Amino acid sequence: DAGVTQSPTHLIKTRGQQVTLRCSPKSGHDTVSWYQQALGQGPQFIFQYYEEEERQRGNFPDRFSGHQFPNYSSELNVNALLLGDSALYLCASSFTDGYGYTFGSGTRLTVV
């Protein structure tokens, strides 16, 4: 049973560009959450998707947007990249919320 799959694993982008990160949730999970984790820090909540709708959002600007597809997979889009967007982006899936997440291995984004 595959867990959470994220792609790509690593990415280098130039400041001002746009990026799309992808996530396939664990089988049976319907809720996808995205996090940004800077080196040595805890994951910071970006947003959560359930039934193809953004259900909750953390303190991130509108440059960060997402989408959930009917098969529960999800994308995270970041526009107008800044150097400070360089981080590990984690996708986590769950069956509804409150039962604990299964995390993917993350996408390491470097903005130069």
Partner 1 sequence: GNSVTQMEGPVTLSEEAFLTINCTYTATGYPSLFWYVQYPGEGLQLLLKATKADDKGSNKGFEATYRKETTSFHLEKGSVQVSDSAVYFCALSTLGTRFGAGTRLTVKP
Binding site for partner 1 (CB under 8 A): 33, 35, 40-45, 47-48, 55-58, 90, 92, 97-106
For residue 98, what is the DSSP state?
A: S
Question: Nearer to partner 1 by C-beta: 6 or 78?
Answer: 6
CB of 15: closest distance to partner 1 in angstroms? 27
Q: Work out how close the CB of 8 gets to partner 1 at its nearest, in angstroms, rounded to a whole number.
A: 16
Residue 104, classified by CB atoms within 10 Å of its CB into exposed (0-12), middle (13-18) or buried (19+), is buried
**Shortest distance in whole angstroms from residue 97 CB to partner 1:** 6
Cα dihedral 103, 18, 50, 97 sign: positive
